[in-house]
């Protein structure tokens, strides 16, 4: 077991985790972040370090990072004499992976320490809390912030499982550019914002994208729904569900069988890829029986407007406790709240740590490359 008792351990590596790290590092709490392990299992589950934003493309709705012509934004937003410190270095918005790398670096610059490993067990019955990792390390912490996020769901069909990695995926951005999908018909299952985003992205590669949705109306926001309906390469199959992924051992996925939800005959379509975009499951398996979870396995917050979980000293931030908003900006906001809650709770316990604020560092002097590819 590591001798040092950490003030705050943060588990996760999405916007909530990095924001919690930035705030707790600036409060001199010297946070230790477990950003997740780089394993094939995590790649397949979509739980590699940097979270779900690392699996997206351009980010259009994170305040401060407008997409499009940044020069024009600066011209309209900031008077020329105030621009010298804020000259834009590039002309486009930020991508999800870039935004995550920037947040991570910002946390590192304030002294955050990072371990690239999964937390597999959190003992909340002892004080300090005990954190055990996949690689077998054991750490102690006075306070813990859970920011493990959520991961994409699958339907649970045997054929879906059989063809994972051979045409079935839950991440268009990760897999869409693979040669097997080029100029071929592809299928996206779901009718929410994620499904539209995936379908839209896949039209860069596919000959046609079929969106398979079980109702006659998309759940996606108006602007996203409009994007899907106006894209000539997206063909929406209303009132249908994916009944089976068709394929063989040589070619992988070759098509799908769709079932009607309104009594129409089954349909078979040729397709070389199937992308699932049917919602998410929170990453709370290692917390079952330790912290209160709701029926959908999301962490339950014990007080409205606070990030307290059912165990004092353990806080929650981001999608792991939010099945409603699930936005990068709300995750970042609750990451800030969790760090402040943890700081105040530690102070109330007599751990006064924020006397000297760490030096602010402008450049990436603490830049440390992390190998993310498998
Ligand atoms: P979501 O909004 O929950 O949508 C899930 C979709 O999958 C729904 O259309 C649902 O159908 C369908 N579905 C669920 N279970 C199914 C099943 N067993 N079989 C067939 N279809 C099934 O999830 P999401 O699209 O991942 O979005 C999650 C949150 O992230 C939302 O708040 C969304 O706004 C946000 N988000 C935003 C953006 C963006 O702004 N660019 C991008 C991605 C996600 P029903 O409609 O019939 O329930």
Burial of 23 (0-12, 13-18, 19+ CB in 10 A): buried
The pLDDT tens digits of the residues spanning 32-83 come to 999 999 998 898 788 999 998 887 777 778 998 887 777 777 777 777 766 6
Residue nearest ligand 1's atom 48 by CA: 219
pLDDT level of residue 327 (50, 70, 90 thresholds): confident
Maximal CA-CA distance, the chain: 70
Burial class of residue 330, CB neighbours in 10 A (0-12, 13-18, 19+)? middle
Task: Output 1 or 144, whichever has higher pLDDT.
Answer: 144
Query: Do residues 286 and 304 lie in contact, with contact meaning Cβ atoms separated by under 8 Å?
Result: no
Nearest to 196 by CA among 181, 212, 184, 182: 212
CA–CA separation, 60 and 233 (whole Å): 22
The tally of CA atoms less than 13 A away on the side-chain side of residue 316 is: 27
DSSP H or E stretch at residue 195:
helix 193-202
Catalytic residues: 171, 174-175
| Cα separation, 214 vs 205, whole angstroms | 25
- Taking the C-alpha atoms of residue 200 and residue 277, their distance in angstroms, rounded to an integer, is 12
For range 159-182, the mean pLDDT: 88
Q: What is the mean pLDDT of residues 159-178?
A: 87
Residue 101 CB neighbour total at 10 angstroms: 18
CA 200 to centroid of ligand 1, rounded, Å: 15
Tokens, residue 60: 């259009």
Which residue has 């105040």 as its token pair?
A: 344
The rounded Å distance from CA 53 to ligand 1 centre is: 15
* Ligand 1 center from residue 51 Cα (angstroms): 17
Q: Each residue of 114-131: pLDDT tens digit? A: 999 999 999 999 999 999
What is the 283 CA–ligand 1 centroid distance (Å)?
A: 17
Report the pLDDT value the prediction gives residue 94, as an integer from 0 to 100: 82
Q: Which atom of ligand 1 is nearest to the CA of 324?
A: 32
**C-alpha of residue 280 to centroid of ligand 1, in Å:** 8
Contact residues for 365 (Cβ-Cβ < 8 A; gap 6+): 109
Instruction: Please state whether the peptide bond connecting residue 128 to the residue before it is cis, i.e. omega within 30 degrees of 0.
Output: yes
* CB neighbour class for 371 (10 Å; exposed up to 12, middle 13-18, buried from 19): exposed
pLDDT at 306 over 80: yes
Burial class (CB in 10 A: 0-12, 13-18, 19+), 313: buried
Closest to 125 in 3D by CA, of 251, 314, 360: 314
Q: Which of 194, 210, 281, 326 to mutate to test the pocket of ligand 1 (most atoms within 8 A of CB)?
A: 194
CA 192 vs. chain centroid, Å, equals 16
Ligand 1 atom with least separation from CA of 155: 18
Q: Whose CA is nearest to atom 29 of ligand 1?
A: 326
Q: pLDDT grade, residue 371 (50/70/90)? A: very low
Q: What is the pLDDT of residue 358?
A: 59
The pairing of strands 168-169 and 280-282 is unpaired
Beta-carbon neighbour count of residue 58 at 10 Å?
A: 16
CB 35 within 8 A of CB 17: yes
Q: What is the average per-residue pLDDT within 288-302?
A: 97
Report how far residue 141's alpha carbon sits from residue 162's, in angstroms, rounded to the nearest whole number.
41
Q: How far apart are CA 236 and CA 268, in angstroms?
A: 15
Q: Which residues line ligand 1 (CB under 6 A)?
A: 61, 155, 190-195, 197, 214-215, 219, 221, 241, 277-280, 326
User: Which atom, in ligand 1's list, is nearest to the CA of 61?
Assistant: 40
Q: Helix, strand, coil proportions of the chain in percent (round to 5)?
A: 30, 25, 45
Substitution candidate for ligand 1 out of 59, 61, 219, 281 with most atoms within 8 A of CB: 219
The number of the ligand 1 atom at minimal distance from the alpha carbon of 221 is 34
Of residues 173 and 23, the one with the higher pLDDT is 23
């Amino acid at each position: 077991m590591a001798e040092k008792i950490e003030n705050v351990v943060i588990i996760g590596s999405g916007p909530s985790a990095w924001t919690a790290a930035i705030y707790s590092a600036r409060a001199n709490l010297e946070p230790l972040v477990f950003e997740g392990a780089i394993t094939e299992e995590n790649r397949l589950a979509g739980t590699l370090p940097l979270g779900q934003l690392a699996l997206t493309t351009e980010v259009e709705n994170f305040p401060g990072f407008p997409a499009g012509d940044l020069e024009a934004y600066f011209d309209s937003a900031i008077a020329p004499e105030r621009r010298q410190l804020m000259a834009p270095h590039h002309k486009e918005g930020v991508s999800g992976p870039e935004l995550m790398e920037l947040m991570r670096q910002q946390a590192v610059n304030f002294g955050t320490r990072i371990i690239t490993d999964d937390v597999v067990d959190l003992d909340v019955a002892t004080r300090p809390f005990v954190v055990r990792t996949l690689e077998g390390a054991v750490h102690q912490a006075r306070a813990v912030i859970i920011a493990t996020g959520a991961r994409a769901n699958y339907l649970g069909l045997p054929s879906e499982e059989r063809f994972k990695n051979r045409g079935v995926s839950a991440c268009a951005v990760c897999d869409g550019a693979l040669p097997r999908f080029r100029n071929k018909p592809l299928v996206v299952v779901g009718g929410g914002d994620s499904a539209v985003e995936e379908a839209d992205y896949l039209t860069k590669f596919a000959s046609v994208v079929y969106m398979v949705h079980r109702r006659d109306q998309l759940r996606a926001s108006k602007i996203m729904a409009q994007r899907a309906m106006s894209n000539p390469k997206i063909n929406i199959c209303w009132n249908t569900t994916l009944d089976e992924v068709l394929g063989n051992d040589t070619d992988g996925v070759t098509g799908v069988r769709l079932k009607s939800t309104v009594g129409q005959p089954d349909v078979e379509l040729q397709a070389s890829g199937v992308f699932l975009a049917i919602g998410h499951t929170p990453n709370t398996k290692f917390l079952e029986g330790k912290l209160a979870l709701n029926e959908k396995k999301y962490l339950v917050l014990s007080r409205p407007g606070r990030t307290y979980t059912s165990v004092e000293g353990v806080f929650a931030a981001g999608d792991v406790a939010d099945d409603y908003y699930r936005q990068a900006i709300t995750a970042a906001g609750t990451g800030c709240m969790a760090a402040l809650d943890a700081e105040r709770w530690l102070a109330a316990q007599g751990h006064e740590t924020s006397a000297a604020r760490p030096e602010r560092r402008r450049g990436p002097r603490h830049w440390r490359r992390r190998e993310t590819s498998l």
